[in-house]
Amino acid sequence: MKAQDINFNASWKFYNAEAEGAEAPEFNDSDWRNLNLPHDWAIEGPFDIKYNARSGGLPFHGTGWYRKHFKMEADAKGKVVRIEFEGAMYNAHVWVNGEFIGNRPFGYIGFEYDISKHLKYDGSDNVIAVKLKPEDLSTRWYPGAGIYRSVWLKIDNKVHVGQWGTYITTPTVTKDLAVVQNETTVVNKSSESVEVKVNHEYFSPEGESVSFIDETISVAANTSGTSQLFSKIKNPKRWDTENPNLYDVVTTITQNGNVVDTYKSRIGLRSIRYTKDGFFLNDKPVRFNGVCLHHDNGALGAAVYRRADERKLQIMKSMGVNAIRTSHNPPSRELLELCDELGLMVQDEAFDVWKMEKVPNGYNLFFDEWGERDLKDMIKRDRNHPSIIMWSIGNEIIEQKDKKNGWKVAKRLNAYCKEIDPTRPTSAGFNHYSSPYDNNMAQQVDIAGMNYKPTHYVDVRNNYPELPFVATETSSCTSSRGIYHLPIEKYRVHESKHVTSYDLIGPVWAYPPDIEFHYQEQNPHVMGEFIWTGFDYLGEPTPYGGRDNSTNGYWNDDWPSKSSYFGAVDLCGFPKDRFFLYQSQWTTKPMIHLLPHWNWKGMEGQDIPVYCYTNCDSAELFVNGKSMGKKVKGKDLTELLVSFNDYEGETFQSKYRLSWNVPYKAGDIRVIGYKDGKPVQEEQIFTAGKPAKINLSVDRTEINADGVDLAYVTVRIEDKNGNLCPMADNLVNFSVKGAGRLIAVDNGNQISVESFQANHRKTFSGMCLAVLKSSEHSGTITLKATSKGLKSKSVTVQTK
């Protein structure tokens, strides 16, 4: 980014319908809605069965128009003025002052246009108009709609650093020395050849200058030139998952002794390599404790808020996650910056489809014309991020079964990746075995991705012994937070349209996390896994509504099921029980988790299965103070009901869960975890009484007064003693005063069709969520929550 780049998000006009002639500057938009970007019109709803539950049951398709009026200062005349859209969903058409500038179909990739010749610099009105036309049946999940990422106005001198203008690599990184290579593209839009000096100064994570280098290059008129320089940094502070050290690079372009452009890049000094036996970061073996993430943020929709992505990633880190797969499209700039800062490795994925369709109006319609450009632009945009450790050219591509041409397309896309960035391996997610291997498709990428094939890991090693591979999608276990169905059964769907949190239900390809843990242990050459998914997301309400990849349209048979059950965390960011099962495998700090709740009125004396997830050596369960015995992890097994594709048998003896069957009696259950024979962790669950009060907690008590920062408020319904009421569904009303407003509410209930933008919400399993956004004025935001018959509660957030 450059200091002179202008954030262009404020004061747009919006109209959600056809508007003939709206590209013309004289068009009357006075009655259009005023708003700031980023904006997702579809998340505003309403939910309706006439929309596709597969895409969230929300009105994401149709026509949307955006217009912005602005003035250009006279001193910008003669300079280069560009407009950059980081993402517009989708099939964007752009006009400036009535002149058509360009079209970009793919909603997940950024693009820019030089608009210098189309502007007026005399103080009169300029108008940018953008028409978006998302299609129904164009996606397999909720894509959002609108200009949902940021827009920038860039004003540069004739000589400047181009779009995504630095490409910085680290061909050598050791504890003693880093060699940093910087290729910088200098654009000359003038009519004369120029001679410029290119300077790079490198700053340590502490802000100290550690290297400075420059060279002089010539750039012919109306062309671009490349400066190639390398620097040496002694005793580098390397980037890794535990210490994500970041260096700043300031590139300065000087012409005739005058600075004409300054460009800032952020990098991490790290090395990556891979073999058939594993992945290495800074020469240390690392396994991917990874998750797949869709781009939406639940009640906020697809609109990009940096804090929303930060919170999502922080929650994943606390689960033990060290890697993210951007399923199944290019992510936002903010998400990658946050992964850099938090130390999360990224598989950056380009496409969910190539030429062969999954849904009738999908990206396959644009692939021939735009596939190369979109893939190359993604890599150019993202290649300086140290967090990115591989590129993915596709997910579950239908061409896997095309013996004649599928491998050729993969080969071509792989070549594009290597052309733009030869420093990282390529991958793709294959959900068939053995066709992509037999058809020479898996061999076209550096690291083959396997989706839901744990029983075939040994086959791939035996049949293709030199082929590195990673589990790019695993488990697909489904659940609804706080819901427990008894007796424990392996059902396909449940009449409640919820899924039990005993963590064993999934579609035909799916299996409990324990299965993947087992086969990963048995096959240490597998680089690790990316679970499906870290968070619930909007759309694809499997196991309800339909089947993946079906092209017959709508998934509304089980309405109102309209969002994912796959996440280890629900749409609100509240952990499900499965979160703690992964945490027990992926973290070392002593932890313990107990389930289910202990409110089973009417079942007195009946056996209740009690599960414990822990990384302790052993655990002891107490019911109303009486010991139910100590269980040893890895020795005392829990039998799970299991059936999925390619698996023989109907049960699995899991060493990853401890369990007891105990007769229910109101009171409490408590579990104590032991390490080396000593108690180190415990958890206690009480039988809750009647709902008596609301409790509020906020993730941050101080946020930025910048008009975009967020505070997340967790709402709990509790009894008089402060115990969560696990079946409470009380309606909670919200009121806000001060320097901010309420922008979203949710409860994580996959079958709720309450508005995300109301000032009230029912609780689900005793909880709901309110999201506050700051204004641009410092002060305080006070949220008050009330509910009939309950003691109310308020919480205050400072904005600075």
Q: What would the 3-class secondary structure string for 391-412 be?
A: EEEEECCHHHHCCCCHHHHHHH
Tens of pLDDT along 289-302? 999 999 999 999 99
Taking Cα atoms as reference points, which of 127, 114, 101 lies closest to residue 158? Answer: 114
What does the pLDDT read at residue 3? 73
Q: Is-contact 168 182, C-beta < 8 A?
A: yes
Catalytically active residues, by annotation: 396, 473
pLDDT confidence band for 9 (50 / 70 / 90):
very high
Q: How confident is the model over 401-413, as a mean pLDDT?
A: 96
Q: How confident is the model over 262-273, as a mean pLDDT?
A: 97
198's tokens: 């290119």
What does the pLDDT read at residue 486? 97
What does the pLDDT read at residue 4? 80
For residue 261, pLDDT over 60 is answered with: yes
Q: Rounded to whole angstroms, how far apart are CA atoms 667 and 95?
A: 67
Q: Rounded to whole angstroms, how far apart are CA atoms 338 and 387?
A: 9
Q: Which residues of 143-179 are buried (b: 16+ CB within 10 A; e: fewer)?
A: bbbbbbbbbbbbbbbbbbbbbbbbbbbbeebeeeebb
Q: Is-contact 65 14, C-beta < 8 A?
A: yes
| CATH T-level topology, domain 693-799 | Immunoglobulin-like (2.60.40)
Q: How confident is the model over 411-424, as a mean pLDDT?
A: 98
What does the pLDDT read at residue 712? 98
Q: Is-contact 647 660, C-beta < 8 A?
A: no
Q: Rounded to whole angstroms, how far apart are CA atoms 591 and 680?
A: 8
> Where do the CATH 2.60.40.10 domains begin and end in the chain?
159-267, 592-686, 693-799
For residue 549, pLDDT over 90 is answered with: no
* Local structure of residue 134 (DSSP, 8 states): P
Q: Is-contact 399 408, C-beta < 8 A?
A: no
Lowest-confidence segment of 221-235, 477-491, 536-550, 712-726 by average pLDDT = 536-550
- Give the chain's mean pLDDT: 97
**Peptide bond connecting 46 to the previous residue in cis, omega within 30 degrees of 0:** yes
What does the pLDDT read at residue 552? 65
Tens of pLDDT along 572-588? 999 999 999 999 999 99
644's tokens: 């999925």
Helix (H, G, I), strand (E, B) or coil at 741: strand
Q: Rounded to whole angstroms, how far apart are CA atoms 577 and 556?
A: 28
For residue 355, pLDDT over 90 is answered with: yes
Helix (H, G, I), strand (E, B) or coil at 608: strand
Q: Residues near 408 by Cβ (< 8 Å), separated by ≥ 6?
A: none
Query: What is the DSSP annotation of 743-791?
Result: EEEE---TT----TTSSEEE-BTTEEEEEEEE-SS-EEEEEEEE-TTSB
Q: Is-contact 379 417, C-beta < 8 A?
A: yes
Q: Is-contact 751 498, C-beta < 8 A?
A: yes
Tell me how crowded residue 445 is: count the other CB atoms within 10 A of its CB. Answer: 27
Q: How confident is the model over 227-239, as a mean pLDDT?
A: 97
Tell me how crowded residue 483 is: count the other CB atoms within 10 A of its CB. Answer: 22
> Where do the CATH 2.60.120.260 domains begin and end in the chain?
6-156
Taking Cα atoms as reference points, which of 10, 8, 7, 27 lies closest to residue 19? Answer: 27
Taking Cα atoms as reference points, which of 456, 380, 357 lies closest to residue 164? Answer: 380
Tens of pLDDT along 145-154? 999 999 999 9
3-state class percentages of the chain: helix first, strand second, coil last, to nearest 5: 15, 40, 45
What does the pLDDT read at residue 553? 76
> Where do the CATH 3.20.20.80 domains begin and end in the chain?
286-586
Q: Is-contact 534 344, C-beta < 8 A?
A: no
The class level of CATH for 286-586 reads alpha beta
Q: Which CATH number is 592-686 given? A: 2.60.40.10
Percentage of residues in the chain having pLDDT higher than 90: 98
The class level of CATH for 6-156 reads mainly beta
pLDDT confidence band for 548 (50 / 70 / 90):
low
Nearest 10 degrees: Cα torsion 427, 453, 611, 494: 110
| CATH T-level topology, domain 159-267 | Immunoglobulin-like (2.60.40)
Lowest-confidence segment of 24-28, 273-277, 324-328, 546-550 by average pLDDT = 546-550
What does the pLDDT read at residue 316? 98
Helix (H, G, I), strand (E, B) or coil at 587: coil
Tens of pLDDT along 189-207? 999 999 999 999 999 999 9
> What is the value of pTM for the model shown?
0.97
Nearest 10 degrees: Cα torsion 281, 285, 290, 292: 60
Q: Residues near 715 by Cβ (< 8 Å), separated by ≥ 6?
A: 694, 695, 696, 732, 761, 763, 767, 768, 769, 770, 785
Tens of pLDDT along 577-622? 999 999 999 999 999 999 999 999 999 999 999 999 999 999 999 9
